[in-house]
C-alpha cells in the first residue's frame, strides 16, 4: 500500500471537482465518501443529489475562514491531499475497511489524532476499487496549525502496519535515502523531445560516470564541463566552491531559459559536501613494506583491493559500520570504472550493474570515506589506464566484483536496509552475467589443453585434501577439466596446488557458489600470477631484518656462551651502537667471553696470545705479528675508579660516544689481537694492545 502525500494547495473546491469528476480518462466510477471528520450531517455530492461541491468545500474551509478573519493574513497552503492505493494483486477492500485505513493514516500524519476533538477537518473519497483520496484542511478548530513535520515517514510506517493487519502486499520500509522519482511533467517532456531519460536521470548517470576520474570537486566540475554538460558553480566571496548545479543541453523552460538542477535534487549522495568527502580524502598511513607485494597492473590492484572487503554482519560497532559503508560506496565507483574500461561486448551488463548498485551505495550509515581509499584509487587507475584487460584478468575482476556485491547485499540485509539489499542483489545478477561472458573464452582455452589422466587424479586428491566438504561438487562440475589445467600450470611454476586451493576457499566460501570450479579458477589465476615463494630467500630476509633490528651477529660467528644476568635491562640504542649496558664495547665483551681474559691476566704478549688461540682452535699456527714500535706487549689497566672503555672517555677506540658510525664500523673489523696505537692521545709514546 502506497500513500503519496502531494504538495499543499489552496483551492479546496477545485480538488473536490477532480475527486467527484469523471477523471482525465473517464476512470472515476461511483465517487462517494467513505469516512470523514464527522459523517453526521456532512454533505456527500456522490450520494445526495441536493449536495454540491461548494457546500462541501464550505464545511471543510470553515476553520480556515475563521482564522483568516481573526488574524487578517490569509492562509494559502491549507489543502492537504494524500492518495492511498493498494497493490494490483491485493483483494478489493470494502468501504468500511477503507474508512478504517483512512482514519489510521490521518492519525499517523497528525491531521486528526485519535481523541482530539479540535483536530483538522478531513474526508476520504473513493472513486475506484483500488484506492481512495484523503483531503484535509490544515487549520484546527482552535485556529492553530497541525504539526506535519516528517508526516510522510509516519504515514509510511502506518502503511507497513496496515499491510500486515489486512493481509496485503508487503512493501519495503523507506529510509529517506531514495532519489526523487520523475514527475509526470518531466516524463512527458522527455517523450516530447525524444529523450530516453528525463533530465535528472540523464545528469545522474553522467555525474556518476565522472566520479572515478576526479580527485576533487573542482576536477569533477571541470570533467563535466568537458563532457558538454552545463555547470553552474556557486562560490563564496573568497572564491571557495559552495555548491553547484548542472543542466542538460536543450532542457529549457517556457521562457527559453536553461534549467539547472542542484546536485542534491538529482540524488541524495551527489551534494557538494558528500562529493568532497568522497573525493578529497587523504590516504591512510601504511606500513613501509606495504608496496613490496603490490601489483603494478591496475586491474590486478583492483582485484587485490576487493580481497580486503570483509564486511562484518554481526556484533559490529559504529566505526566498523562506517568503514563498511565507505567500502560499499567505493565499490559502486569501481563497478562504474570497470564498465567504462571493459570491452564493448561486456559493457552493457556492467553498465546495468552500475546503475542498479547506485541505490546500494547510500544508506543512513555515515561513511568513513578514508577507509575506502584503496578501492577508489584502483577505480581511478583503471579509468586512466590506456590498455584494456585480457580475458583472464577481466574474468578475475568481475568474479571478485560479484562476490563483493554479494557481501554488500548480506551486510545491508543484516542492517535491515531492504532497498539497498534488493539493489545489490539486482547488481549481482548483472555482474554474474558479465563474469560468465568474460570467463567463457578462458574456459575453452583451458579445457583444450587439459592435463593427463594421471595428473588429474593427483590433482583430484589435492582437492579432496584441501576442501573435503566441497570436493564432490568441484570434481563433478563441468569446469573441473579447466580447473585441473590451472592447477597443473600453477604447479609447474612452483606453486603448491593444495595450498592454492585452501587459500582460494578461504577467500570465497563455496557453499553458495553455483559453479565452485569456476570460482576457484578465477581465484587461483589471480593468486598464482606471482612467482612461487622462495623459502630460503624469505628466511634470509627475516634473518637480515632481525639482525638489523636487534644487533645480532652474523651466522658465521662462533657461538657465544650466555652472559651473566645483569640488573640493568638491555637498551636497543646501545646495542645498535655496539655497546653493552655497562658501557663496554661489544668486541671487547665477545673477546672476554671467548677466554681471552685468562691470557691477558697471564701478562703474555698479544702475539703469543694470538698464536695460541689459533693453535687451540685447530688451525695452523700463524706467524706472530711483530709488535709495533713502542709497544711493551703488555696489557695496560685503566686507572682506579674508571671502568675500561667507559662511554665518553678516550680509550683504545677513542671517544666511543663521540666517534662517527663509520669510524666505529672500521674499528670493529680489524683483528682483536693486534697492537694498535692509541688514536685519542697522540702525545702518548706508549702503545696499547686491544684485547
Q: How many CA atoms lie within 13 A of 237 on its CB side?
A: 0
Mapping DSSP to helix (H, G, I), strand (E, B) and coil, where does residue 532 land?
coil
Q: Minimal CA–CA distance to 628: which of 607, 603, 610?
A: 607
Average pLDDT over residues 217-242: 94
Q: What is the pLDDT of residue 532?
A: 63
Based on the fold, state whether residues 450 and 364 are members of the same structural domain. yes
Q: What is the pLDDT of residue 496?
A: 86
Confidence of residue 72 (pLDDT cuts 50, 70, 90): confident
Based on the fold, state whether residues 379 and 458 are members of the same structural domain. yes
Among 248, 279, 310, identify where a domain stops. 279
CB atoms inside a 10 Å sphere around CB 452? 10
Name beta bridge partners: 378. Answer: none
Residue 172 covered by a domain? no
Total domain count for the chain? Answer: 4
What are 505-512's contacts with CB under 8 Å, separation 24+? 505/466, 505/467, 505/470, 507/307, 508/403, 510/467, 510/470, 510/473, 510/474, 511/470, 512/406
Q: Is the pLDDT of residue 220 over 60?
A: yes
Q: What is the pLDDT of residue 283?
A: 65
Give the chain's mean pLDDT.
79
Residue 335 covered by a domain? yes
Based on the fold, state whether residues 346 and 471 are members of the same structural domain. yes
Can you tell me the distance from the alpha carbon of 460 to that of 474, in angstroms, rounded to the nearest whole number?
Answer: 9
Residue 662 covered by a domain? yes
Confidence of residue 540 (pLDDT cuts 50, 70, 90): low
Q: Is the pLDDT of residue 192 over 70?
A: yes
Based on the fold, state whether residues 160 and 206 are members of the same structural domain. no
pLDDT per position as a tens digit, 22-57 = 888 778 888 999 999 987 778 899 988 889 999 999
Confidence of residue 675 (pLDDT cuts 50, 70, 90): very low
Identify each DSSP E strand in 186-323 by its residue range: 230-235, 241-247, 261-262
Based on the fold, state whether residues 247 and 311 are members of the same structural domain. no
Q: Is the pLDDT of residue 120 over 90?
A: yes
Q: Is the pLDDT of residue 583 over 60?
A: no
Average pLDDT over residues 603-631: 50
Do the Cβ atoms of 631 and 687 come closer than 8 Å? yes
Based on the fold, state whether residues 520 and 422 are members of the same structural domain. yes
Q: What is the pLDDT of residue 578?
A: 47
Based on the fold, state whether residues 79 and 159 are members of the same structural domain. yes
Confidence of residue 295 (pLDDT cuts 50, 70, 90): low
Residue 175 covered by a domain? no
Confidence of residue 373 (pLDDT cuts 50, 70, 90): confident
Based on the fold, state whether residues 158 and 206 are members of the same structural domain. no
Based on the fold, state whether residues 159 and 217 are members of the same structural domain. no
Can you tell me the distance from the alpha carbon of 422 to that of 172, in angstroms, rounded to the nearest whole number?
Answer: 10
Pairing of strands 650-651, 654-655: antiparallel
Which residue in this structure is represented by grid cell 569456476?
518
Dihedral sign computed on CA atoms, order 185, 188, 194, 195: positive
Residue 255 covered by a domain? yes
Range among 275-284, 442-451, 539-548 with highest mean pLDDT value:
442-451
Plot region of 521 (φ>0 → left; ψ -120 to 50 → alpha; else → beta): alpha
pLDDT per position as a tens digit, 272-288 = 999 998 888 776 655 55
Q: Minimal CA–CA distance to 272: which of 233, 323, 224?
A: 233
Q: Minimal CA–CA distance to 134: which of 164, 104, 102?
A: 102
- If one compares 540 and 86, the residue with the highest pLDDT of the two is 86
Write phi, then psi, for 580 (nearest 5 degrees).
-100, 165
CA angle 95, 99, 101 (to 5 degrees): 120
Q: What is the pLDDT of residue 412?
A: 93
Cell of 30: 461511483
pLDDT per position as a tens digit, 450-492 = 888 889 889 999 999 888 888 888 999 888 999 999 899 888 8
Burial readout 400-417 (b: 16 or more C-beta within 10 A, e: otherwise):
bbbbbbbbbbbbbbebeb
Among 246, 279, 312, identify where a domain stops. 279
Q: What is the pLDDT of residue 56?
A: 94
pLDDT-wise least confident of 246-250, 305-309, 365-369: 305-309
Q: Is the pLDDT of residue 631 over 80?
A: no
Dihedral sign computed on CA atoms, order 484, 485, 487, 491: positive
Confidence of residue 576 (pLDDT cuts 50, 70, 90): very low
Can you tell me the distance from the alpha carbon of 335 to that of 4, in angstroms, rounded to the nearest whole number?
Answer: 33
Confidence of residue 577 (pLDDT cuts 50, 70, 90): very low
Q: What is the pLDDT of residue 552?
A: 44
Plot region of 544 (φ>0 → left; ψ -120 to 50 → alpha; else → beta): alpha
CB atoms inside a 10 Å sphere around CB 525? 23
Q: How many CA atoms lie within 13 A of 552 on its CB side?
A: 13
Is residue 306 packed enough to be buried (19+ CB in 10 Å), middle (13-18) or exposed (0-12)? buried
Containing domain of residue 380, as a range?
299-527
Confidence of residue 645 (pLDDT cuts 50, 70, 90): very low
| Chain centroid, CA 35 distance in Å | 51
Residue 226 covered by a domain? yes
Which residue in this structure is represented by grid cell 540524488?
267
* 3-state percent breakdown (helix, strand, coil) of the chain, nearest 5: 50, 10, 40
CATH code of the domain containing 100: 3.30.930
Based on the fold, state whether residues 260 and 321 are members of the same structural domain. no
Based on the fold, state whether residues 195 and 256 are members of the same structural domain. yes
Residue 41 covered by a domain? yes
Can you tell me the distance from the alpha carbon of 119 to that of 648, in angstroms, rounded to the nearest whole number?
Answer: 92
Among 122, 139, 166, identify where a domain stops. 166
Q: What is the pLDDT of residue 676?
A: 46
Q: Is the pLDDT of residue 666 over 90?
A: no
Rounded alpha-carbon distances, angstroms, from residue 435 to 69, 216, 396, 525: 70, 32, 8, 14
Q: What is the pLDDT of residue 607?
A: 52
Can you tell me the distance from the alpha carbon of 580 to that of 184, in angstroms, rounded to the nearest whole number?
Answer: 85
- If one compares 68 and 592, the residue with the highest pLDDT of the two is 68
Can you tell me the distance from the alpha carbon of 48 to that of 33, in angstroms, rounded to the nearest whole number?
Answer: 11
Can you tell me the distance from the alpha carbon of 32 to that of 39, in angstroms, rounded to the nearest whole number?
Answer: 12
Based on the fold, state whether residues 40 and 103 are members of the same structural domain. yes
Confidence of residue 688 (pLDDT cuts 50, 70, 90): very low
Q: What is the pLDDT of residue 608?
A: 57
- If one compares 513 and 59, the residue with the highest pLDDT of the two is 59
Residue 176 covered by a domain? no
Q: Minimal CA–CA distance to 435: which of 409, 408, 404?
A: 404
Amino acid at each position: 500500500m502506497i500513500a503519496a502525500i502531494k504538495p499543499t494547495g489552496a483551492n479546496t473546491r477545485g480538488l473536490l471537482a477532480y475527486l467527484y469528476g469523471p477523471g482525465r480518462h473517464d476512470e472515476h466510477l461511483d465517487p462517494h465518501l467513505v469516512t470523514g471528520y464527522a459523517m453526521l450531517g456532512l454533505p456527500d455530492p456522490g450520494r445526495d443529489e441536493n449536495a454540491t461541491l461548494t457546500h462541501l468545500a464550505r464545511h471543510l474551509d470553515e476553520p480556515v475562514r475563521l482564522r483568516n478573519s481573526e488574524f487578517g493574513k490569509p492562509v494559502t497552503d491549507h489543502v492537504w491531499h494524500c492518495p492511498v492505493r493498494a497493490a494490483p494483486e491485493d483483494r478489493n477492500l470494502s468501504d468500511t475497511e477503507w474508512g478504517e485505513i483512512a482514519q489510521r493514516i490521518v492519525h499517523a500524519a497528525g491531521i486528526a489524532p485519535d481523541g482530539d476533538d479540535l483536530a483538522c477537518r478531513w474526508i476520504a473519497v473513493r472513486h475506484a476499487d483500488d484506492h481512495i483520496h484523503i483531503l484535509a484542511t490544515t487549520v484546527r478548530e482552535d485556529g492553530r496549525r497541525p504539526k506535519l513535520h516528517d508526516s510522510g515517514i509516519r504515514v509510511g510506517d502506518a502503511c507497513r502496519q496496515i499491510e500486515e493487519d489486512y493481509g496485503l502486499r508487503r512493501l519495503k520500509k523507506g529510509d529517506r535515502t531514495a532519489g526523487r522519482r520523475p514527475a509526470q511533467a518531466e516524463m512527458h517532456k522527455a517523450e516530447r523531445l525524444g529523450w530516453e531519460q528525463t533530465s535528472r536521470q540523464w545528469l545522474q548517470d553522467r555525474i556518476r560516470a565522472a566520479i572515478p576520474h576526479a580527485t576533487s570537486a573542482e576536477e569533477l566540475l571541470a570533467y563535466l564541463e568537458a563532457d558538454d554538460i552545463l555547470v553552474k558553480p556557486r562560490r563564496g566571496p573568497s572564491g571557495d566552491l559552495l555548491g553547484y548545479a548542472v543542466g542538460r543541453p536543450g532542457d529549457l523552460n517556457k521562457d527559453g531559459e536553461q534549467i539547472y538542477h542542484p546536485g542534491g535534487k538529482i540524488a541524495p549522495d551527489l551534494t557538494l559536501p558528500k562529493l568532497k568527502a568522497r573525493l578529497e580524502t587523504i590516504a591512510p598511513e601504511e606500513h613501509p613494506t606495504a608496496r613490496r607485494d603490490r601489483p603494478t597492473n591496475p586491474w590486478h590492484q583492483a582485484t587485490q583491493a576487493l580481497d580486503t572487503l570483509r564486511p562484518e554482519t554481526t556484533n559490529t560497532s559504529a566505526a566498523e559500520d562506517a568503514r563498511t559503508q565507505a567500502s560499499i560506496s567505493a565499490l559502486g565507483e569501481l563497478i562504474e570504472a570497470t564498465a567504462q574500461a571493459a570491452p564493448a561486448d561486456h559493457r552493457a551488463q556492467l553498465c546495468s550493474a552500475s546503475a542498479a548498485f547506485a541505490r546500494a551505495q547510500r544508506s543512513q550509515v555515515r561513511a568513513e570515506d578514508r577507509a575506502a581509499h584503496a578501492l577508489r584509487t584502483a577505480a581511478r587507475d583503471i579509468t586512466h589506464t590506456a590498455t584494456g584487460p585480457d580475458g583472464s584478468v577481466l574474468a578475475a575482476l568481475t568474479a571478485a566484483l560479484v562476490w563483493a556485491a554479494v557481501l554488500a547485499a548480506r551486510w545491508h540485509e543484516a542492517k535491515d536496509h531492504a532497498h539497498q539489499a534488493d539493489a545489490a542483489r539486482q547488481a549481482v545478477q548483472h555482474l554474474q552475467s558479465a563474469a560468465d561472458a568474460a570467463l567463457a573464452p578462458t574456459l575453452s582455452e583451458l579445457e583444450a589443453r587439459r592435463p593427463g589422466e594421471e595428473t588429474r587424479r593427483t590433482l583430484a586428491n589435492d582437492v579432496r585434501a584441501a576442501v573435503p566438504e566441497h570436493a564432490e561438487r568441484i570434481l563433478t562440475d563441468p569446469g573441473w577439466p579447466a580447473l585441473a589445467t590451472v592447477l597443473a600450470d600453477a604447479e609447474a611454476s612452483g606453486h603448491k596446488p593444495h595450498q592454492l586451493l585452501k587459500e582460494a576457499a578461504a577467500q570465497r566460501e563455496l557453499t553458495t557458489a553455483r559453479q565452485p570450479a569456476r570460482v576457484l579458477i578465477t581465484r587461483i589465476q589471480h593468486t598464482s600470477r606471482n612467482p612461487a615463494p622462495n623459502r630460503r630467500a624469505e628466511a634470509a630476509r627475516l634473518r637480515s631484518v632481525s639482525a638489523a633490528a636487534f644487533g645480532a651477529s652474523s651466522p658465521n660467528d662462533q657461538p657465544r656462551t650466555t652472559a651473566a644476568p645483569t640488573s640493568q635491562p638491555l637498551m636497543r640504542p646501545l646495542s645498535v651502537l655496539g655497546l653493552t649496558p655497562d658501557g663496554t664495547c661489544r668486541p671487547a665483551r665477545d673477546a672476554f667471553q671467548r677466554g681471552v681474559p685468562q691470557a691477558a691476566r697471564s701478562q703474555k704478549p698479544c702475539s703469543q696470545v694470538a698464536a695460541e688461540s689459533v693453535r687451540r682452535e685447530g688451525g695452523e699456527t700463524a706467524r706472530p705479528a711483530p709488535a709495533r714500535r713502542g709497544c711493551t706487549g703488555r696489557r695496560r689497566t685503566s686507572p682506579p675508579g674508571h671502568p675500561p672503555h667507559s662511554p665518553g672517555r678516550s680509550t683504545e677506540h677513542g671517544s666511543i660516544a663521540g666517534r662517527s658510525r663509520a669510524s666505529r664500523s672500521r674499528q670493529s673489523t680489524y683483528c682483536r689481537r693486534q697492537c694498535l696505537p692509541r688514536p685519542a692521545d697522540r702525545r702518548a709514546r706508549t702503545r696499547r694492545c686491544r684485547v
